[in-house]
Structure 1
């Protein structure tokens, strides 16, 4: 008995290569991979934050007092500005990655983009403070007259951490607004 070949063209699914896209993987596995990528990127950003921050120094006087110039006072918050700038760039990248991996999963893309950015921001903060100078009160108390003591690498407010999350949510918002009525693609 002979069978004839099926005259219908191969379906799109059967023409798809055997490799699976990461967006088609199980949700838990993709989420773990995304959060690991976010934490690793945040740790690398912490090194960059440490290297890019210009921290002012206090000068120890003969009477044991510590003084800082007016310019030094204004640069106290430069570490926050550098951290925020890194957060805007990395947060937007994490938002785009979250959209790429989770856009078919609905509202999860918003939660995961924000969570990944916050995890990345905290990893950056932790690594940066580990690498940067710390124990400022101890260093000042042990300094001699004429010594300069650099301030700690630290954030002075929580606002820069929130910048990371907002930067991650911005591409998700923009892309979802542009594509809200676009037909779903199955590629």
Structure 2
């Protein structure tokens, strides 16, 4: 039976790993928010001389490009968080799934928040103060809020695949070792 100091040290070690992992996830979320802001080309409404705003058909397709870039970042960072989380925290057991899901969801929310803050801001006040003949870019935000769920999905997938398809540490050892073919004997 392990003594209390060994158990306390093990608990402290897991706590440090989990906190470090969550800190890494939040940092990656902030970096992803900056990348999202840099990569997305925001379409703009054009104002005519009478103050009416319109957007071209080509720019309409760009409305969803922001969500696509957000999901692409979620795929890369989510899978990375899942693989790293499994390698770092696999001894945690089933709570690993919760830690990875929470970390990826936090990273996605931080990415969204950072990208929105770096973007041009709320659309309606900018449109109200725009001059006729000018253009007003849309806000950098998610149009499909379900894209936030894509980050945890991508992160938990490698964990679930590795835990279900990988070697199980709780498998019993065989009673008899396997015979190798190197003994030179044949049963023919």
TM range (shorter): 0.7 to 0.9
Give the root-mean-square deviation of aligned CA atoms: 1.7
**Within the alignment, does 1:163 sit opposite 2:150 as a pair?**
yes
Q: Distance in 1 between matches of 2:77 and 2:66?
A: 16
User: How far has the Cα of 1:181 moved from its partner?
Assistant: 3.5
Counterpart for residue 52 of structure 2: 65
User: How far has the Cα of 1:55 moved from its partner?
Assistant: 0.9
Q: Distance in 2 between matches of 1:179 and 1:133?
A: 46
Pairing partner for 1:120 from 107, 120, 126: 107
> 3-state DSSP class of the match of 1:100?
helix
Counterpart for residue 131 of structure 2: 144
**Within the alignment, does 1:41 sit opposite 2:46 as a pair?**
no
What TM-score comes out, normalization by structure 2 length? 0.81
> 3-state DSSP class of the match of 1:26?
helix
Give deviations 1:31-51, integer Å, cap 9, x for gaps.
111111100010000000000
> 3-state DSSP class of the match of 1:59?
strand
Pairing partner for 1:181 from 164, 168, 176: 168
Q: Distance in 1 between matches of 2:97 and 2:168?
A: 18
Structure 1 gaps of 5+ residues are 1-22
Runs of 4+ aligned residues of structure 1 deviating over 6 Å after TM superposition are none
Q: Distance in 1 between matches of 2:102 and 2:44?
A: 35
Q: Distance in 2 between matches of 1:140 and 1:155?
A: 19
Pairing partner for 1:31 from 7, 12, 18: 18
**Within the alignment, does 1:81 sit opposite 2:68 as a pair?**
yes
**Within the alignment, does 1:92 sit opposite 2:79 as a pair?**
yes
User: How far has the Cα of 1:144 moved from its partner?
Assistant: 1.5
What TM-score comes out, normalization by structure 1 length? 0.82
User: How far has the Cα of 1:25 moved from its partner?
Assistant: 5.8
Q: Distance in 2 between matches of 1:89 and 1:179?
A: 22
